[in-house]
Chain A
Amino acid sequence: MPAELPWELRRRGIRDARRHDQRVREAIRKNLRHLVTEEAIISSDGQRLVRVPIRYLERYRFRYGLPQSHQGVGQGKGEPGERLGEREGGGEGAAQAGDAPGELTFETDLTVQELARLMLEDMDLPWLEPKGRATRSRELRFDEVRRVGSLANVDKRRTLRENVKRKAARGDPRPGDFVEEDLRYRSWREEPRLQTQAAAYLLLDRSASMTLDKKYVAKAFFFWMVQFLRTRYERVEIVFIAHDAEARVVDERTFFAIGSSGGTICSSAYRAALEHIRRHHPAREWNNYVFHFSDGDNFPEDNAVAAEALRELLVESRMVGYGEIVEAAGPSFYGSPEGRAREREAERPRELERPKSLFGRALARVGDPHFVAVAIHRREDVYGALRAFLLADHGG
């Protein structure tokens, strides 16, 4: 740098880069409601980095509607009217990508777990201590300092401090002339640790009335709920139970596959979950979470039976959630880009309604603080539903 520049003004790049990253996170936070149902994310395996589209981080300015990168001067052979194909990537072209109008997003890499953590932060829930069930392991923590120990474990920084302290007391604060009493050793202690484990029971109505879009909502919800549980528990097991008039434990792929044409008996799913819990995840060792998604179109005679099954399930579970998916009027449910843009305009978290179906109301009458039921009208409600369930878990 030119020598006359003051020191405090140098090396600003790193600071501004950090501020930029912070803005990216803010932008993500503002978009969480939409990211919750972002196809690319909930279809990922939850391990790798995901590309998170960010809107809102644009540098606004006046720019032409017809992007300047779509016209210009090129070179080579060819007659007027000849097709040139798409613009090549890279180089100047890539730098100009921001000139395109419309819903241009630029992306950032985050792990799904980071995203889940951002959501939990955004939901403003205190970090809940999971209930540990058994002392399964001991953790060694290397954070004690002692006056005796093996020379290999000398804590140099602390030893130096002691040395200087001792010598300073005699008027010579320079390090050197180490004696036995200066030496400090690092040491370990044993700490018992709670092995925490949870089982997530995901129950999905796959009867004929459950359209693909409704299932998509359930899928988004399940995806994030499992991520949240994973931030909290060391071990999370997932059990998928699909039901129509009958319930079956299935694998993940079959779970979301096209459903049957049969009717709906929700109690069958609750019974299947109960049975599975009692056999594999007894409540004294497991934090059981049960989530059921349906459109509430249950066989009327089953409503009371299901409510009774719910009562039994609550004894074995840390919490039970029920989401009733009801299609809203208008295109927003299907998340068309235009619909999404409109919603972003009128963006305010909505109060979630209670389920209105006879089935939903029968469940609500069980009246247990560990049971939460919400109605979901559109994709953006998923975020609120997640929050409602997590909040209830805190109350419990």
Chain B
Amino acid sequence: MPLEPLPERFQEVLEQARALGLDFFELRFEVVPEEIMAELAAYGLPTRAQHWSYGQVYNRNRLFGRMGLSRIYEIVLNNDPAYAFLLDTNRPVENLLVVAHVAAHADLFKNNALFQETNRHMVAEAAAHAQRIDRYREEVGDERVEHVMDIAMALEQHIDFPEGVHRRRYEESGAESRPGGAASRRDRPEERFAELFPEEEAPSGRELAPPPLPPHPERDLLWFLANYAPLTHWERDILEIQREESYYFYPQFATKILNEGWATFWHARILEEMGSLTPEETLEYARLHAAVVQPGSRLQVNPYYLGYRILRDVEERLGLERLWQLRREEDDVSLIQNFLTPELAEEMELFTYGPRGRFASAGREPDLEIKSRDIEQVREFLCRPRYNYGAPLVAVTEVHHGQLYLEQLDRHVSGLDLEYAKKTLEYIGELWRGPVRLVTADAEGREVELAWDGQESRRSRP
């Protein structure tokens, strides 16, 4: 049930937030029990299509919650209005801190550049997605729908965010750039897949050689398959739904450190400015805040702490105005590259680490060692997992005689887990309904090609 009317003290927090300059969508609060919180955390949205993998996360969240290992105090959704969920066991002061924290998240959702393209009605949109997929389940059966969802989710990280969620097929954008160019192939369905099978193309001098497909390495695998693989209507829709939701979540992924730092910075400022806290409440708040910004472990820097420290440092060095600009323009990568100074890194005693020896033996927990305290290294290692959903860069490079060629573009960093790559390639081959190949590197860094011909997998050195 929505919290209406909003408790007076919540209103006080929000007024304080606005007075300090935060600018957010209307916030709708709801108090929920732990199992709903676990469910929201598993799905990321109140409603998404059913899939067993959410059940797996839900189980784990519930278990951790019951064991007291982790408690989810709040969840706020990037939506207009923004929905915020509070745990029903939160104590009064916890709720004040959480409300302030949520207001700052909502401010960043509304104002950060990366979020400008996100669908602000995703809560309703995702519910519509879920209904569509429910219908497909009825039409073609649970098993088939679940399997295609398995595939879509295997590829969920492979979008090309800067290209935007709405994209046209290559030849259409090509036609636009060539004045008076060929009419869209989409208007002639019989030719939609013609470029996949050039040898079968009817001889015709009308057109010049078809442009290569894709014209450049294509990282948005979900988009490419949805547009160029011979899919049924419902299969394509499942890929497109997955892709839309991946686009929706990407800015939140890419601003994790910034967003948590920002919310932590402001919940502190707001509560410290609030006149109505009793001394006991102030003490309790201080204890809570200290827990939020605890540094983390030796091998894991708490992102709340890291973001908070960087923002505090910027405020001290460059003033509060700079912070407002930063919250509009930066994401985690640029925040770290531009604002994590050597002095701060040294003060925080940051270092990079990695396995002793050149390569860890497969499946073993390797011995780790400190690698470097060089600021460039530290920045690089902090940023690396913040690109591209932290996934390897895999692109479609060519379609030739109906065969789909893929390549891991960043194989110099590390090749793929070959066992996983093989299965994922099979998934792609299933949608492509034809042979697929993938170039990557093995554990020793040597180039290796995986191939799937619809029956069996092979591995070879190209």
A residues in contact (CB < 8 Å) with B: 1-6, 8-23, 58-68, 70-88, 90-93, 100-104
**Contact with B414, one of A65, A84, A100 (Cβ below 8 angstroms):** A65
Q: Which residue of B lies closest to A106 (CB)?
A: B56
List of A residues within 8 angstroms of B360 by Cβ? 66-67, 70
- Known contacts A11-B39, A17-B55; A62 and B356 CB within 8 A of each other: no
Near A by CB (< 8 A), chain B positions 44-84 give 46-48, 50-56, 58-59, 69, 83
Distance in angstroms from A340 CB to nearest chain B CB is: 13
- Known contacts A73-B301, A75-B348, A77-B349; A101 and B362 CB within 8 A of each other: yes
Complex Cα spacing A394 to B38, Å = 48
Question: 8 new A-B pairs (CB below 8 Å) besides A13-B58, A74-B352, A102-B362?
Answer: A2-B83, A19-B50, A59-B153, A60-B427, A62-B416, A63-B392, A71-B355, A84-B299
List of B residues within 8 angstroms of A18 by Cβ? 55
Complex Cα spacing A176 to B339, Å = 77
Complex Cα spacing A114 to B55, Å = 22
Complex Cα spacing A90 to B416, Å = 26
Q: Which residue of B lies closest to A20 (CB)?
A: B55
Cβ A82 vs Cβ B369 within 8 A: yes
Cβ B300 vs Cβ A61 within 8 A: no
Please encode chain B, from 348 to 366, with 1 for each CB lying within 8 Å of some chain A CB and 0 for all others.
1111111110011011111
B367 interface hit (Cβ, 8 Å): yes
B123 interface hit (Cβ, 8 Å): yes
Cβ B353 vs Cβ A84 within 8 A: yes
Cβ B30 vs Cβ A73 within 8 A: no
Complex Cα spacing A80 to B352, Å = 9
- Known contacts A6-B127, A71-B354, A75-B295; A87 and B368 CB within 8 A of each other: yes
- Known contacts A64-B416, A83-B369; A100 and B363 CB within 8 A of each other: yes
What is the interface of chain A mostly: helix, strand, loop, or mixed? loop
**Contact with A87, one of B2, B43, B299 (Cβ below 8 angstroms):** B299
**Contact with A72, one of B53, B300, B416 (Cβ below 8 angstroms):** B300
Cβ B299 vs Cβ A88 within 8 A: yes
Cβ A12 vs Cβ B299 within 8 A: no
- Known contacts A71-B354, A81-B369; A23 and B52 CB within 8 A of each other: yes
Cβ A80 vs Cβ B53 within 8 A: no
Complex Cα spacing A31 to B365, Å = 25
B28 interface hit (Cβ, 8 Å): yes
Cβ B52 vs Cβ A16 within 8 A: yes
**Contact with A71, one of B56, B131, B352, B418 (Cβ below 8 angstroms):** B352
Complex Cα spacing A22 to B368, Å = 38
B370 interface hit (Cβ, 8 Å): yes
List of B residues within 8 angstroms of A83 by Cβ? 356, 367-369
B212 interface hit (Cβ, 8 Å): no
Distance in angstroms from A198 CB to nearest chain B CB is: 38
Cβ A101 vs Cβ B417 within 8 A: yes
- In the A-B complex, list the 3 residue pairs whose CB atoms are closest, starting with the nearest: A102-B363, A16-B55, A20-B55
Complex Cα spacing A108 to B363, Å = 19
Complex Cα spacing A21 to B55, Å = 8
Distance in angstroms from A92 CB to nearest chain B CB is: 5
List of B residues within 8 angstroms of A88 by Cβ? 297-299
Q: Which residue of A lies closest to B70 (CB)?
A: A91
Q: Which residue of A lies closest to B421 (CB)?
A: A62
List of B residues within 8 angstroms of A9 by Cβ? 47, 127, 130-131
Q: Which residue of B lies closest to A1 (CB)?
A: B46
B242 interface hit (Cβ, 8 Å): no
List of A residues within 8 angstroms of B164 by Cβ? none
List of B residues within 8 angstroms of A65 by Cβ? 414-418, 441-443
Please encode chain B, from 13 to 32, with 1 for each CB lying within 8 Å of some chain A CB and 0 for all others.
00000000000000010100
B423 interface hit (Cβ, 8 Å): yes
Near A by CB (< 8 A), chain B positions 130-174 give 130-131, 134, 150, 153-158
B residues in contact (CB < 8 Å) with A: 2, 28, 30, 35-36, 38-39, 42-43, 46-48, 50-56, 58-59, 69, 83, 123-124, 127, 130-131, 134, 150, 153-158, 295-301, 348-356, 359-360, 362-373, 378, 381-382, 384-385, 390-392, 394, 408, 413-421, 423-424, 427, 441-443
List of A residues within 8 angstroms of B420 by Cβ? 58, 60-63, 101
Complex Cα spacing A76 to B295, Å = 10
Cβ B299 vs Cβ A93 within 8 A: yes
List of B residues within 8 angstroms of A12 by Cβ? 39, 43, 47-48, 50, 54
Complex Cα spacing A12 to B54, Å = 9
Complex Cα spacing A3 to B28, Å = 11
- Known contacts A9-B47, A9-B130; A71 and B381 CB within 8 A of each other: yes
Cβ A17 vs Cβ B300 within 8 A: no
Distance in angstroms from A269 CB to nearest chain B CB is: 42
Distance in angstroms from B170 CB to nearest chain A CB is: 23
Cβ A72 vs Cβ B381 within 8 A: yes
Cβ A16 vs Cβ B54 within 8 A: yes
List of A residues within 8 angstroms of B130 by Cβ? 9
Cβ B363 vs Cβ A103 within 8 A: yes
List of A residues within 8 angstroms of B373 by Cβ? 80
Cβ B123 vs Cβ A66 within 8 A: no
Cβ A15 vs Cβ B352 within 8 A: no
Cβ A59 vs Cβ B370 within 8 A: no
Complex Cα spacing A4 to B356, Å = 55
Complex Cα spacing A5 to B2, Å = 13
**9 pairs from A and B in contact (CB 8 Å cutoff):** A9-B127, A9-B130, A13-B55, A16-B54, A59-B154, A61-B424, A73-B353, A86-B367, A104-B363
List of A residues within 8 angstroms of B349 by Cβ? 75-77
Complex Cα spacing A3 to B124, Å = 11
Cβ A68 vs Cβ B370 within 8 A: no
Cβ A13 vs Cβ B43 within 8 A: yes
Cβ A64 vs Cβ B352 within 8 A: no
- Known contacts A13-B35, A71-B355, A75-B298; A4 and B124 CB within 8 A of each other: yes
Q: Which of B38, B83, B352, B418 has the most CB of A within 10 A?
A: B352
**Contact with B127, one of A5, A77, A92 (Cβ below 8 angstroms):** A5
Cβ B58 vs Cβ A70 within 8 A: no
Cβ B363 vs Cβ A13 within 8 A: no
List of B residues within 8 angstroms of A90 by Cβ? 69
Q: Which of B51, B123, B408, B420 has the most CB of A within 10 A?
A: B420
List of A residues within 8 angstroms of B38 by Cβ? 13
Cβ A80 vs Cβ B394 within 8 A: no
Q: Which residue of B lies closest to A61 (CB)?
A: B154
Distance in angstroms from B341 CB to nearest chain A CB is: 15
List of A residues within 8 angstroms of B363 by Cβ? 100-104
Cβ A87 vs Cβ B365 within 8 A: yes
Distance in angstroms from B86 CB to nearest chain A CB is: 14
Q: Which residue of B lies closest to A78 (CB)?
A: B370
Distance in angstroms from B325 CB to nearest chain A CB is: 26
Cβ A73 vs Cβ B416 within 8 A: no
Distance in angstroms from B59 CB to nearest chain A CB is: 5
Complex Cα spacing A12 to B59, Å = 12
**Contact with A60, one of B154, B298, B368 (Cβ below 8 angstroms):** B154
Q: Which of B36, B154, B369, B378 has the most CB of A within 10 A?
A: B369
Complex Cα spacing A153 to B72, Å = 47
Cβ A13 vs Cβ B54 within 8 A: yes
**Contact with B353, one of A3, A19, A66, A71 (Cβ below 8 angstroms):** A71
Complex Cα spacing A61 to B282, Å = 47
Complex Cα spacing A70 to B363, Å = 11
List of A residues within 8 angstroms of B300 by Cβ? 72, 74, 91-93
Q: Which residue of A lies closest to B381 (CB)?
A: A73
- Known contacts A62-B158, A66-B359; A76 and B367 CB within 8 A of each other: no
Q: Which residue of A lies closest to B353 (CB)?
A: A74
- Known contacts A62-B158, A83-B356; A19 and B55 CB within 8 A of each other: yes
Cβ B355 vs Cβ A17 within 8 A: no
List of B residues within 8 angstroms of A19 by Cβ? 50, 52, 55
